[in-house]
Amino acid sequence: MRAHQFSNRAALSILLKTSLSIPVGCRSYAVDGREAGGTKGSDWLPTQFVQFSCRLHALGIAAAACVPDSLTYIGALIALNQVIVSGAGMYPKSTLLGNNMVRLSPAAAARGEVALSFDDGPDPAVTPKVLQVLDQYGVKASFFCIGKRAIACPEIVAETAARGHRVENHSFSHSHAFGFYGVKSLASDIHRSQEALEKITGCRPSLLRAPAGIRNLWLDPVLTQLDLTLVSWTRRGFDTVCRQPQTITQRLVQGLAAGDILLLHDGSSRRDVHGRPVVLEVLPRLIEAIAAKGLTPVPIV
Ligand SMILES: [Zn+2]
């Protein structure tokens, strides 16, 4: 099914079917948030929590129709459920709403690997310098690019891929409203970025990181349709707001363990007191700290 054909009606139909059918082969999730079995295309199945929420709404409507006096209690229950759904969407590491990779696989962790990932690029002033530092240390990483920025600087994205890094999807527009999009808008935005990045690199992204890690109930079915896996992170340094390289490095390194996914930004990087992008100050220290711990930086695969 093409992205533009994936309508609100299709998603609602799936959710309704799910809410009315008692246990439909629930997916199992590995510790790292990756799906154990794997689903493709139309095989999307909601998480147990989403199924429970759908049933709660369906039963609530039926109960309110049969016993009008219970409306207050039912309304309160549904409102509480909505608060939990919204909270799960606002918490980037949550797996309640769907598949979400917050760590590398146990096999990668056993090999002592940690992932370096960069968001919000490409940035013509910063990304080439980030690539230089990575080359200097012989390190490969994942770059979650914003589609419209990739179109504005295709040569940087092409160079990123040519140097052996992974180019992944970070939405097309990076809208603050991404977490409020319906199925159609999500599918359209993500698909547009897929097309742009594939056209530039010749390789279709397999991972998506939601803008600011915020999402909603509709993202999981859309990603399943587009054969994308949602990735968040294990630790981040807040390098878009903090201008102290030492503090950012410490946040990333303190408690660092094999299997961690680290989040940095080549786009939107805060400048330090000397006006330099903090990511360029942090990166060499971070790579050296990773090596000192006997760990190996890798892209997310
Ligand atoms: Zn971002």
Domains of the chain by start residue, with CATH: 3-90 (no CATH), 106-298 (3.20.20.370)
Distance 230 CA to ligand 1 centre (A): 14
Distance 209 CA to ligand 1 centre (A): 8
- pLDDT of 26 reads 29
> How open is the CA angle 275-276-282, to the nearest 5 degrees?
140
| Tens digits of residue pLDDT in 231-264 | 999 999 999 999 999 999 999 999 999 999 999 9
- 235 contact partners, CB below 8 Å, separation of at least 6: 251, 252, 255, 256, 260, 261, 262, 263
Cβ proximity of 232 and 101 under 8 Å = yes
- pLDDT of 23 reads 31
- pLDDT of 32 reads 39
> CA-CA distances (angstroms) from residue 132 to 29, 75, 159, 280, 297?
37, 56, 11, 10, 16
Residue 29 clears pLDDT 60, i.e. is over it: no
CA 24 to chain centroid, in Å, comes to: 26
Distance 117 CA to ligand 1 centre (A): 11
Distance CA 71, CA 238 (A): 44
- 225 contact partners, CB below 8 Å, separation of at least 6: 1, 3, 6, 41, 42, 44, 187
| Tens digits of residue pLDDT in 117-166 | 999 999 999 999 999 999 999 999 999 999 999 999 999 999 999 999 99
Distance 120 CA to ligand 1 centre (A): 5
- pLDDT of 27 reads 33
Query: Of 170, 174, 191, 265, which residue is the catalytic one?
Result: 265
Nearest alpha carbon to residue 281 among 294, 293, 271, 291: 271
pLDDT category at 33 given cuts 50, 70, 90 is very low
Residue 34 clears pLDDT 60, i.e. is over it: no
Residue 28 clears pLDDT 80, i.e. is over it: no
Any catalytic annotation for residue 32?
A: no
Distance CA 82, CA 66 (A): 22
- pLDDT of 116 reads 98
Compute how many other C-beta atoms are within 10 angstroms of the C-beta atom of residue 106.
14
Any catalytic annotation for residue 119?
A: yes
Query: Of 32, 57, 119, 191, which residue is the catalytic one?
Result: 119
- pLDDT of 75 reads 86
Range in 13-22, 35-44, 66-75, 174-183 with the lowest mean pLDDT: 13-22
| Tens digits of residue pLDDT in 202-213 | 999 999 999 999
Range in 31-35, 117-121, 238-242, 282-286 with the lowest mean pLDDT: 31-35
Residue 42 clears pLDDT 80, i.e. is over it: no
Percentage of the chain exceeding pLDDT 90: 66
Residue 37 clears pLDDT 50, i.e. is over it: no
Question: If you average pLDDT over residues 288-292, what whole number do you get?
Answer: 98
- pTM for the model stands at 0.84
**Average pLDDT over all residues of the chain:** 87
Residue 39 clears pLDDT 60, i.e. is over it: no
